[in-house]
Amino acid sequence: AQSVAQPEDQVNVAEGNPLTVKCTYSVSGNPYLFWYVQYPNRGLQFLLKYITGDNLVKGSYGFEAEFNKSQTSFHLKKPSALVSDSALYFCAVRGAPNAGNNRKLIWGLGTSLAVNP
Amino acid sequence: DAMVIQNPRYQVTQFGKPVTLSCSQTLNHNVMYWYQQKSSQAPKLLFHYYDKDFNNEADTPDNFQSRRPNTSFCFLDIRSPGLGDAAMYLCATSRESDSNQPQHFGDGTRLSIL
């Protein structure tokens, strides 16, 4: 069965420090991986995706993520955190074509990021 | 700007009183989704339309229905809301000419049940 795990419910970092939000996945075939951010009382905003190619993906607001096939991970990173990065972060995966109903995203449970001034 | 718009942002209804939430999009995407999200949990897919093709999730209660009269609009109807249906309802769209495209979300409608 396809699944996504975000092992940390909450991550706390000091402003200016690097941040990492972890995501591991289990999916048959090659995965399509996504990160979304959700601010309070807002919808989810797309940050970045990995489809194929370079394992390091750069996205919005200075975020990047590294795809690691051997570890089945897709951790979200930012070199220098801002207080305004405080939000809920979701990792999601969908199977590659011919992997069933691949229009559906499988969502992680979310990680709450708090960046302290 | 092209976007996904949900109205209203906040909706209060009474227990058992039917309610309709609306979603419109200017992205001309052929897939539209409805999600339910409770208190900072992961969004839960209720159903989606691929063009006019309706796809219901197996665990979506019969109380939830949807309509998509045209490409731009999609509605979520809750026939007899219960207290457990209080949640944020998110509409999303995607362009499915290929499946590596992200979903685009509206800002949601927060539904309260009195």
Residue B10 lies in a domain: yes
Q: Are B79 and B18 in contact (CB under 8 A)?
A: yes
User: Is A116 part of a structural domain of the chain?
Assistant: no
Inside any domain, residue B113? no
- Whether A106 and chain B come into contact, CB under 8 Å, resolves to no
pLDDT, one tens digit per residue, over A16-48 is 999 999 999 998 788 899 999 999 989 999 999
Tell me the per-residue pLDDT of A92-106, one tens digit each, with 9 for 90 and over: 998 766 655 556 889
DSSP 8-state symbol, B101: P
Q: Write the DSSP assignment of B61-76 as a string of letters.
A: -TTEEEE-SSSSEEEE
pLDDT grade for B1, boundaries at 50, 70 and 90: low
Total number of domains in chain B:
1
Q: Domain of B38: which CATH number? A: 2.60.40.10
Report the residue of chain A nearest B47, measured CA to CA: A104
Does residue A16 belong to any structural domain of this protein?
Answer: yes
Check CB contact of A112 with chain B, cutoff 8 Å.
Answer: yes
Within 8 A of B105 by CB-CB distance, chain A residues are 36, 43-45
Contact A45, A34 (CB under 8 A): no
A81 inside domain: yes
Instruction: Round the average pLDDT of chain B to a whole number and report it.
Output: 93
Residue A47 lies in a domain: yes
Residues of chain B found within 8 Å of residue A42, distances taken between Cβ atoms: 107-108
Q: Which residues of A touch B104 (CB under 8 A)?
A: 46
Q: CA–CA separation, B5 vs A104, rounded Å?
A: 21
Residue A46 lies in a domain: yes
Q: Residue A99: its pLDDT value, please? A: 56
Residue B114 placed within a domain: no
Mark yes or no for CB contact A46/B104 under 8 Å: yes
What is the domain range of residue B60?
4-108
Does residue A61 belong to any structural domain of this protein? yes
All residues of chain A having their beta carbon less than 8 Å from the beta carbon of residue B40 are: 88, 110, 112
Is residue B20 in some structural domain? yes
* Domain of A56, in residue numbers: 3-111
Would B49 be classed as within a structural domain?
yes
Please tell me the predicted confidence (pLDDT) of residue A100: 57
Preferred mutation among B31, B36, B100, B112 to probe A, highest tally of A CBs within 10 A: B100
Strand partners, A94: A32
**Does some domain include residue B34?**
yes
**Structural domain count, chain A:** 1
Please judge whether A90 and B42 are an interchain contact, meaning their C-beta atoms are less than 8 angstroms apart.
yes
Q: Residue A46 is part of a domain; what is its CATH number? A: 2.60.40.10
